[in-house]
Structure 1
Amino acid sequence: MTLKKTTAGVILLSIMITAAACSSEPKQAATSPTPATAATAAPQATPTAESQDALNLKGYIAARISQEKIDFLFAEAKSKDGKLILNPVAADSKEKAVKFLSSYFDAALADKVATHYLTDQKADGAIITNTAPFFPGNLLNTQKQDITFDAANTKDQVAFTTKDGVTYTTKKVNDKFVLADAVKK
């Protein structure tokens, strides 16, 4: 409750300061800056393209998040008798599961993942999920230093290989990376 009051107070204070700043007339500078003061002003940063290292990290993080979402959707909810079932967020349908996964996976891979985990069996009115992993390795057990990024990575595709020999490929869809493939070599 205190956090809500504090947040509301900060927002209200911000609005009041903004309104006061907008309503006052702009003051004209009496003189233009001298060359000495102009030279001491901080240089303006120009927008630059993201480095490939930053893009590689985004691709790696996207792949890790996609595997977390698999656990959330297929390995978190349990029936009364302890069987893993499809998380109710997917409303007990493959279509909703694929739609959910499509935010983290390439569309074709999202469908393959859902098909792998969803079974024909039900418990407590929910679909029982397959406990066998879809991917050949668990990226969540790795750290950034355990992987090697592909030298051919681009701004739209990032591939990396874990020390266990699993190669993950992420690609940019709607300006964010999603997992497109994972294979063990």
Structure 2
Amino acid sequence: MTLKKTAAGLLILTMAVTGAACSSKDSTTSPSPAATATATAAPQASAVSQDTTNMKGYIAARIAREKVDYLFAEAKSADGAFIVNPIAATDKETAKKFLGNYFDTSMLDTLVNYYVTDAKAGAAFLTNTKSYFKSNLLDTKKEEITFDKANTADLVKFSTKDGVTYTTKKVNDKFLVSEVQ
């Protein structure tokens, strides 16, 4: 019984749509409101798309910055010195592997060599306590960020209010930080 009611409802709906389409006057000279809305929405869709891409690049850079703090400025040795976080890495190579999910290979060596020292506290490597980054991206708000007008779907460049420029590039469908100036 329910199937018959559904079929009857679909038949009535189809007839109503067909009747409405046939009764419109001179549709070739006057575009429908739906067509007009679609035509005007198309340029906005590409702008929204780049805005979304810009935000993905910005968020990826914030997450990458947070991972650096987690790896190099969170764990401490028994005497209170900062060490490479043993939960995520134990040495330079495992630190590179961990950060490889957030930073492009062009930055990995520089970043890891900056933070991981040759000194140890027990089995853990001590880290440089001075930040590699001139300002903390985590202290910024998206309203304080200026995105480069030449950004693309695969490359997002932005500057902070402090004048630090971040470049993120898409690698395997996710953004990685490739440069910080």
TM-score by length of 1: 0.75
Name the SS for the 2:146 alignment partner. Answer: strand
What is the identity percentage for the equivalent residue pairs of Structure 1 and Structure 2? 57
1:93 alignment partner in structure 2: 91
1:120 alignment partner in structure 2: 118
The Cα of 1:37 is off from its aligned counterpart by 6.2
| Alignment deviations for residues 41-69 of structure 1 (CA, whole Å, 9 cap, x no partner) | xx9xxxx7761000000000000000000
Alignment of 1:57-136 (within 5 A): 57-136=55-134
Unaligned ranges ≥5, structure 1 = 1-25
Alignment of 1:149-168 (within 5 A): 149-168=147-166
Bigger radius of gyration: 2
2:178 alignment partner in structure 1: 180
Letter in 1 for 2:118: D
1:29 alignment partner in structure 2: 7
Separation in structure 2 between the aligned mates of residue 137 and residue 109 of structure 1, nearest angstrom: 17
The Cα of 1:181 is off from its aligned counterpart by 0.6
CA RMSD of superposed structures (Å): 2.3
Name the SS for the 2:162 alignment partner. Answer: coil
Query: Does the 8 Å contact 1:80/1:124 carry over to 2?
Result: no
Letter in 1 for 2:14: T
Unaligned ranges ≥5, structure 2 = 21-33, 35-44
Q: Which has the higher strand share?
A: 1
TM-score by length of 2: 0.76
Name the SS for the 1:59 alignment partner. Answer: helix
Letter in 2 for 1:95: E
The Cα of 1:117 is off from its aligned counterpart by 0.3
Letter in 1 for 2:127: T
Name the SS for the 1:133 alignment partner. Answer: coil
| Alignment deviations for residues 39-98 of structure 1 (CA, whole Å, 9 cap, x no partner) | 8xxx9xxxx776100000000000000000000000010001000000013441211100
Q: Which has the higher helix share?
A: 2
What is the count of residue pairs matched by the alignment?
A: 152
Q: Give every structure 1 segment of 4 or more consecutive aligned residues whose post-TM-superposition deviation is greater than 4 Å.
A: none
More displaced 10-residue stretch of structure 1: 104-113 or 66-75: 104-113
The Cα of 1:135 is off from its aligned counterpart by 1.6
